[in-house]
Amino acid sequence: MSAQSEKLLQAIGELDEELVEDAAPLAAVPKKRGRRWARGIIAAAVAAVLLVGTAFAASPGLRDMLAEVLGSFGPYAQKQEDAIYTWNGFEFQVMAALADENTVRVYVQARDTRGKHRLDMMGHYDAWMDGGPDALINVPQTSVEIRGGKASTSFLPYDAETQTAILTASMWGRITDDLTGAELCIDNTYNIFSHPLEAALKIPLDIEVMPSRTLLRFQDLVLDDMEIEEIRVSALGITAVAKKEMLYTSASLDTTFRVQLKDGTEIRTEKDTNSGYGIYMDEAGDEHQAFIWSFADPLEPDSIAGVYIGEGYYPVDGAGELVQEVLRKGSRPNDWNSRLKDKNQRPRPRNP
């Protein structure tokens, strides 16, 4: 089994009362709402705040672990409450989170207080399977009816001396602009897989959704036998929205995406294939698939000059004007079903 456990976002099964009784938050901090995203990134100094301030995160080694996982996305990360929660001999503290309309990532410091290496999936897989945690993000509100998606949990890096890991819970394809009421569900792997919404431990999350924008809309673009309708982007990643014509279609789009900035810099995605996906139904009853790629480094959407889809280059200047024209006529920014004729493909730019 790989270091990441992937789950379909479906909840079935019965609640385990004993596990619920075992879950106890040690502290409760009132949630603070009202944070709003302004144009431009949060000051880089905010990243430092994420890494200090609690006993659980006081060690330079643990601070380095979180900084390693966040990487260049540190300035975008949103600090979470300082409460420490316990379950099944573990301590959990949610440190930071990132989110746009398609992707949510939550970063948790987790420690095995029983000294059994149950967070070391690579070195002590049997110990993890015998009582280690798994996690899933629950988002109660979505902008559309969700039919499927992807989630994963990783426990890297892992510090064997303190038996502490950075638990990263990721979720793709929920398609939401409001994360009010979101929570991190923690339980053993079986319970998370079978009935995640009734997990033993639920930690409240306070996350604002980063803005996304449409870069391109298409009428006749077909990739891997799928009709691409729209390309959307945020600081975290890029999403291709496709029309879902059949009941069962591939959850992978074997096309590479990269973004060219106005200064000539190219931003690549984390993987050559999509990082995650979502399947949803719009108000008209039509199904769509969202294929999501996470950027290797964050970017400002307004700095984008064009997008490479495979070997084809699409500048966003003309598309941007068309999108603004549609919005001025009353279309919603998240209306993923409006179609504009694809007049924007041009020869790829030459490097000076």
Looking at residue 243, its pLDDT comes to: 84
Asked whether the bond before 352 is cis by omega within 30 degrees of 0, the reply is no
Q: Dump pLDDT digits (tens) for 186-199.
A: 999 888 888 888 89
Looking at residue 273, its pLDDT comes to: 62
Q: How far apart are CA 133 and CA 338, in angstroms?
A: 43
Looking at residue 175, its pLDDT comes to: 78
SS3 107: strand
Residue 24 has pLDDT above 80, yes or no: no
Read off the pLDDT of each residue in 37-55 and give the average, rounded to a whole number: 36
Read off the pLDDT of each residue in 15-37 and give the average, rounded to a whole number: 37
Backbone angles phi and psi of 146, in degrees to 5? -85, 135
Considering only residues 233 and 342, tell me which one the structure prediction assigns the higher pLDDT: 233
Q: Dump pLDDT digits (tens) for 103-158.
A: 999 999 999 999 999 999 888 989 998 889 999 999 887 878 888 888 899 998 99
Read off the pLDDT of each residue in 295-311 and give the average, rounded to a whole number: 88
Looking at residue 282, its pLDDT comes to: 82
In angstroms, the Cα distances linking 236 to 76, 93, 112, 120 are 9, 23, 31, 28
Residue 348 has pLDDT above 60, yes or no: no
> What is the value of pTM for the model shown?
0.74
Looking at residue 76, its pLDDT comes to: 93
Read off the pLDDT of each residue in 22-38 and give the average, rounded to a whole number: 39
The residues that bridge with 304 in the sheet, in sequence order, are 261
In angstroms, the Cα distances linking 344 to 109, 261, 311, 313 are 46, 17, 14, 9
Give the pLDDT band (50/70/90) at residue 30.
very low
* Mean per-residue pLDDT over the chain, rounded: 74
Read off the pLDDT of each residue in 340-345 and give the average, rounded to a whole number: 38
Q: How far apart are CA 128 and CA 120, in angstroms?
A: 7
Terminal CA-CA length for the chain: 47
The set of residues, in sequence order, having a beta carbon less than 8 Å from that of 183 and lying 6+ positions away, is 137, 138, 202, 203, 204, 205
Residue 209 has pLDDT above 70, yes or no: yes
Give the pLDDT band (50/70/90) at residue 326.
very low
Read off the pLDDT of each residue in 306-333 and give the average, rounded to a whole number: 58
Q: How far apart are CA 223 and CA 255, in angstroms?
A: 7
Looking at residue 33, its pLDDT comes to: 39
Q: What percent of the chain has pLDDT over 70?
A: 69
Give the pLDDT band (50/70/90) at residue 269.
confident
Looking at residue 245, its pLDDT comes to: 64
Look at residues 6, 31, 300 and name the one whose alpha carbon lies nearest to residue 170.
6
Cβ pair 275, 292 in contact under 8 A:
yes
Give the pLDDT band (50/70/90) at residue 272.
low
Read off the pLDDT of each residue in 299-308 and give the average, rounded to a whole number: 90
Torsion on CA atoms 220, 224, 230, 231, rounded to nearest 10? -130
Considering only residues 17 and 177, tell me which one the structure prediction assigns the higher pLDDT: 177
